[in-house]
Amino acid sequence: MPSQLEKLEAHTSHLLDAFIRLRERYAMLEPMLFDPDVPKQWGSGARARGFLTLRHSLFLSCAQDIAKLSLDSDKRTPSIKNLMASLDDSILCQELREKYAIWVIPSVETETDPEIIAAIERMELREKVERRAEFDQILSKAQRDWAALEVEPYLTGFLTIRDKVSAHTEVHLVADKYQFVDVGTLGLKWSDMKQAIETMQSIVEDLGLVIRNAGFAWDMLDAQLVEASKDFWLERESGS
């Protein structure tokens, strides 16, 4: 049976994978929201209805994932909320801190010179102290970012979309008539989704460092997604 730490590492890995899929979908949506040439080219005339349908569907899908990956409290679900709650366990945090502290420490096993061995041991001790402090700094930053994200009004809006619009088609009574929940009444702006994803990425990155001792090549992913988005829209435009 997997240990608590192994489960935590697996959930952190799954969270990263799910977040990357969110980033991929948002990369297709972002030009529809912020690049004036895209809606001008594809959002008018005979293609207008298809453009609006695609934009609406991508927006709802991204909103649902933002809410799920941030706020889902089901213990089987890899979410930021669940992982941050796990890190409230001081014993588990101490285990993770020590694991982080001995990451890529040089070995003395092949050395025979006592002075070199002593120097390496001093280096190990100094690096362990520094890396423990680094772990605490990364964890504190993740906790601050999560505390700020958790109370953002737009996150409540995305949760409403997930619970009442996207995952479930909920109706409510308005002026003696049942109506679908209107996304336009949730007070969301296009930029809220971008801000949410940027904050989530910072937290996902920090969780990967403190739980899995693993970074991620975000710059490479950014470049790949920008290129994929440009290729998609430009290819469609050139073939029109």
The 10s digit of each residue's pLDDT in 118-161 is 555 555 666 777 889 999 999 999 999 999 999 999 998 898 88
Q: Are 44 and 53 in contact (CB under 8 A)?
A: no
Does the pLDDT at position 182 exceed 80? no
Q: What are the boundaries of each domain within the chain?
A: 4-238
Rounded average pLDDT over 39-47:
87
Q: How confident is the model at residue 114 (pLDDT cuts 50, 70, 90)?
A: low
Residue 240: pLDDT band by 50, 70, 90 thresholds? Answer: very low
Helix (H, G, I), strand (E, B) or coil at 173: strand
Distance CA 148, CA 137 (A): 17
pLDDT reported for residue 174: 36
**CB pairs under 8 A, 24+ apart, for 126-134?**
127/101, 128/101, 128/102, 129/101, 131/100, 131/101, 131/102, 131/103, 132/97, 132/98, 132/100, 132/101, 134/100
**Residue-level pLDDT at 53:** 87
pLDDT exceeds cutoff 80 at 16: yes
| Span 211-239, average pLDDT | 84
Amino acid identity of residue 210, one-letter, is V
Nearest to 32, CA basis, from 14, 8, 57, 9 = 57
Of 234 and 49, the one with more pLDDT? 49
Least confident range from 15-24, 45-54, 123-132: namely: 123-132
pLDDT bucket at 88, cuts 50 / 70 / 90: very high
pLDDT at 93: 94
141/203 Cα distance (integer angstroms): 8
| Strand ranges for the chain from DSSP E | 171-174, 177-180
Q: Kindly state the percentage of the chain with pLDDT values over 90.
A: 50
Q: What angle do CA 132, 133, 139 make, to 5 degrees?
A: 90
174-195 average pLDDT score = 62
Percentage of the chain beyond pLDDT 70 is 78
pTM comes to 0.82
